[in-house]
Amino acid sequence: LENAAAFGKTEIEFKAGEDSIPIQIDSIAPDLVMADISEMLMKWDDLTIEKQVGQGAFGKVYSAIYKGKRVAVKQIEVEANMKAEAYREFRREVALCAELQNPAIVALYGVCLDPWCLALEFMPHGDLYTFLKDKTNRITWKMRITMAQNIAEAIRFLHSFQPKIIHRDLKSPNCLMASIDPNAEYLVKVTDFGESRAVATSYTGRDRLHNPVWLAPEIMKKEQYTEKADVFSFGIIMWELVGREKPFDEYEIARSSFTYQLEDEIIGGLRPTIPKDKICPPAYVQLMESCWNSDPKARPQFEEICKQINRLRESLPTEMAESE
């Protein structure tokens, strides 16, 4: 059934003796053709494609107009021999995104099955990683705190589900800029839940998580891990908000073509250092360091992280809030 749905079939032939009876897939397995979220299903012709704005291992991203609104269309492209497995992942991501209704998370507006694509909330200013690295962008401490608060709110929401949902691939390239207005409530929104997993207690397995820069040590060590893996990743992003470079690039080993060497150092306790020319609130540094603690149990929950960021925002002197 899953193979048939993956290749766009809506019915199968059921053999009963010498007779063949056509059966609609949605009548026996509605989830396979996403009939359970029929209100989100759309046709490719419903979209007015404007231009390609990105490309990744999964396929292409376009800007488009859907129901009078600009959206980002993430089109999934896979080889035929990988289609059944890819369709399973696609369905799982769609089902998850359809549930994740939160202002700090990029919204899903529609799903197309031919070709496979997601119509997502359009983020006009690119990703956080690129935004931070562009030194012409002025980023005040007020903005840094808002960005950290937005990301923490999104992951706190994920972890509030039962069972908890772990993002697993939390990193600045998966955080998109919703606004560049320093006074905006939401500057950043979290996206890309292709690697997310619902976990009752703990999870083992690295799957396609290859980049060690944002990855928790326990995942690298192939140990069981919990939602605290996301907390480690968040600690690294907190450093990025200050350092505005790729994490660990200050170390020569980060430029090695053998990523396992960097992994070994991170497992051993290597962390990015705060640039000497940056003045950081002590509470910010303390929170960051507690998040990237090697011991997952010593890391705070996102409920506590959100509280600490709020306290930091309230206690930040006006002069520092407006400074870089």
**Main-chain dihedrals φ then ψ at residue 96, nearest 5 degrees:** -70, -50
Q: How many helices (H) and strands (E) does the chain have?
A: 11, 12
Q: What are the structural domains, with CATH classification, of the chain?
A: 2-121 (3.30.200.20), 128-321 (1.10.510.10)
- pLDDT for position 2: 59
> Which pLDDT tens digit goes with each residue over 253-265?
888 777 888 999 9
- pLDDT for position 249: 92
**Main-chain dihedrals φ then ψ at residue 272, nearest 5 degrees:** -65, 150
pLDDT of 201 above 80? no
The binding site for ATP consists of 74
Please, which contacts does 83-86 make with residues 24 or more away whose CB atoms are closer than 8 Å? 83/6, 83/7, 84/2, 84/3, 84/6, 86/6
For 84-89, what is the mean pLDDT?
Answer: 81
- pLDDT for position 11: 60
> Which pLDDT tens digit goes with each residue over 15-67?
666 667 676 656 566 566 666 677 889 999 999 999 999 887 778 999 999 99
Q: Which helix (H) or strand (E) holds 199?
A: strand 197-199
Known catalytic residues? 169
For 77-89, what is the mean pLDDT?
Answer: 80
0.75 surpassed by pTM? yes
Give me the chain's average pLDDT, please. 87
- Helix, strand, or coil (residue 238): helix
